[in-house]
Amino acid sequence: MKFDTILEYQSVDRELLAIESEVAKSKERAVLVNAKAKLEAATAAVGKLNHDAAELLANYARLSARAEQLKAKLDEFDGILEGVADVNEADYYLRQIGAINDEVTALEKDAAKDAERIDAIAAEYKKTWEAGKKASDAYKEAVAAYNAFAADMQPRVAQLKAELAKLEGKVPAEFMAAYKSLRAAKKTPAFVAYKPESGTCGRCFMEVSGATRSKLKNPGDHAECPNCRRILYIPEE
C-alpha cells in the first residue's frame, strides 16, 4: 500500500513531536531561558563597565602626562626673571607662566573628575560582578534541572528516533522529503486523508481548487493542498 509507510512514520513521529512540545513548554525550559537571558545581561553589564573603566583610565593617563609636561615646562621658567631687565619681557614671561598654570589647574580638575568616576565605576563593578555571579549560579542550576528533566525522556526519545530511522528507508523518497519539509514548517500531521465528497483540506479546511481536485479522484491519489501545502491523499481500500 502506497501510504502505509509514511503514515506509520507519521504516527511514530507524532509521539516524538508530543515529547518535543512538552519539553519546549516545560517550566524547566522557561526557567532555563530566563536564567540565560539574565546571565547574558549581567555579562554585558560587566563588559560595559570594563570598557568604560578602560576608557577613563586611558583618559586619566593622558591628562596626567600632559600635566607633567606642563609642570616640566614651568620648571624651565625657574629663575628666568632674575636675568630680565626689561619690564615688557618680564610681563611676557609672567603671562606665559600664568597661562601654563591655568592649564595645569584645568587638567588637574579634569583628572580629579575622572578619578572620581573611576572610583564610582569600581563600586558599581563590585555590585555588578556579584549580580553576575548570582546569575551564573542560577543558570548552572537551571541547566542541571533542565538536563535532569530531559534525561527522563531520553530513553523514549532514543527509542522513537531509532524506530523512525528504521522506517525512513521504507518510505518513498518523495514522501519523506515532503514530510520533513512540512515538519520543519510545523505543519503536522503532514499527510492528511482527503475526502473527495467534501472537497476541502482536512487540516486547513480550505476548499481545494479544481486543478488539485482533478488530481484527487481515486484511492492512491495524492496532491499538495494549495493553501497549507500538506499532502492530501485518498486512502487505498
Does residue 204 bind Zn ion (CB under 5 A)? Answer: yes
Our CB check for Zn ion shows the closer of 26 and 227 to be: 227
Q: In angstroms, what is the minimal distance from the CB of 194 to Zn ion? A: 10
Residues 101-120 that bind Zn ion (CB under 5 A): none
Q: Which three cell numbers stand for residue 114?
A: 575622572
Q: Which of 225, 231, 233, 234 lies at the binding interface for Zn ion (CB under 5 A)?
A: 225
Contact assessment for residue 156 and residue 29, using Cβ atoms and an 8 Å cutoff? no
Does residue 223 bind Zn ion (CB under 5 A)? Answer: no
The strand pairing partners of 207, in sequence order, are 200
Stretch that binds Zn ion, among 3-11, 25-33, 138-146, 200-208 (CB under 5 A): 200-208
Stretch that binds Zn ion, among 6-14, 66-74, 129-137, 203-211 (CB under 5 A): 203-211
C-alpha dihedral over 135, 141, 145, 151, to 10 degrees?
Answer: 110
Does residue 39 bind Zn ion (CB under 5 A)? Answer: no
Does residue 216 bind Zn ion (CB under 5 A)? Answer: no
Our CB check for Zn ion shows the closer of 190 and 201 to be: 201
Our CB check for Zn ion shows the closer of 23 and 199 to be: 199
Q: Which of 178, 201, 231, 234 lies at the binding interface for Zn ion (CB under 5 A)?
A: 201
With CB under 5 A, what is the number of residues at the site for Zn ion?
5
User: E-assigned strands of the chain?
Assistant: 191-193, 222-224, 231-233
| DSSP H or E segment with residue 233 | strand 231-233
Q: Running DSSP on this structure, what letter comes out for residue 209?
A: P
150: helix, strand or coil: helix
Cα 97 → chain centroid: 57
Stretch that binds Zn ion, among 1-9, 22-30, 57-65, 224-232 (CB under 5 A): 224-232
Query: Could you give the CA distance from residue 169 to residue 6 in angstroms, rounded to a whole number?
Result: 10
Does residue 227 bind Zn ion (CB under 5 A)? Answer: yes
CA 173, 233, 204, 214 dihedral sign is positive
User: Which residues of this chain interact with Zn ion, rule CB under 5 A?
Assistant: 201, 204, 225, 227-228
